[in-house]
Structure 1
Amino acid sequence: MIGTDTFRQFTLSLPHVTEEPHFDKTSFRIGGKIFATMVAEHHRATVKLSPTDQCLFCLADANMVYPVPNKWGKLGWTHLNLQTVLPEMCTEILKVAYCEVAPKKYAALITFDE
Structure 2
Amino acid sequence: MADADDFRRIALSLGGTSEAPHFERTAFRAVRIYATLAPDGLGANLLFTPEEREFKCLLAPDVFRPVANAWGRQGWTTLTLSAASEAELQEALAMAWRHGAAKKKKG
The question of a shared fold, defined as TM-score above 0.5 by the shorter chain, is answered with: yes
What does residue 61 of structure 1 align with?
A: 60
- SS of the residue corresponding to residue 79 of structure 1 reads strand
What does residue 87 of structure 2 align with?
A: 88
What does residue 22 of structure 1 align with?
A: 22
Q: Greater relative contact order: 1 or 2 (C-alpha under 8 angstroms, separation 6 or more)?
A: 2
Runs of 4+ in 1 over 6 A off after TM superposition: none
Alignment of 1:40-79 (within 5 A): 40-79=39-78
Could you tell me which runs of 5 or more consecutive residues in structure 1 were left unpaired when the two chains were aligned.
Answer: 105-114
- SS of the residue corresponding to residue 77 of structure 2 reads strand
Shift of 1:85: 1.3
Partners of 2:39 and 2:5 in 1: CA distance? 9
- Would you say how many aligned residue pairs link Structure 1 and Structure 2? 103
Which amino acid is the alignment partner of residue 3 of structure 1?
A: D
Identical residues among aligned pairs (%): 35
Partners of 1:84 and 1:30 in 2: CA distance? 26
- SS of the residue corresponding to residue 83 of structure 1 reads helix
Partners of 1:51 and 1:62 in 2: CA distance? 15
| TM, length-normalised to structure 1 | 0.85
Partners of 1:14 and 1:100 in 2: CA distance? 12
Shift of 1:55: 1.1
Contact 2:6-2:86 at 8 Å conserved across structures: no
Partners of 1:42 and 1:13 in 2: CA distance? 18
Partners of 2:39 and 2:84 in 1: CA distance? 14
Which amino acid is the alignment partner of residue 59 of structure 2?
A: A
Partners of 2:68 and 2:76 in 1: CA distance? 9
Could you tell me which runs of 5 or more consecutive residues in structure 2 were left unpaired when the two chains were aligned.
Answer: none
| TM, length-normalised to structure 2 | 0.90
The root-mean-square deviation of aligned C-alpha atoms, in Å, is: 1.3
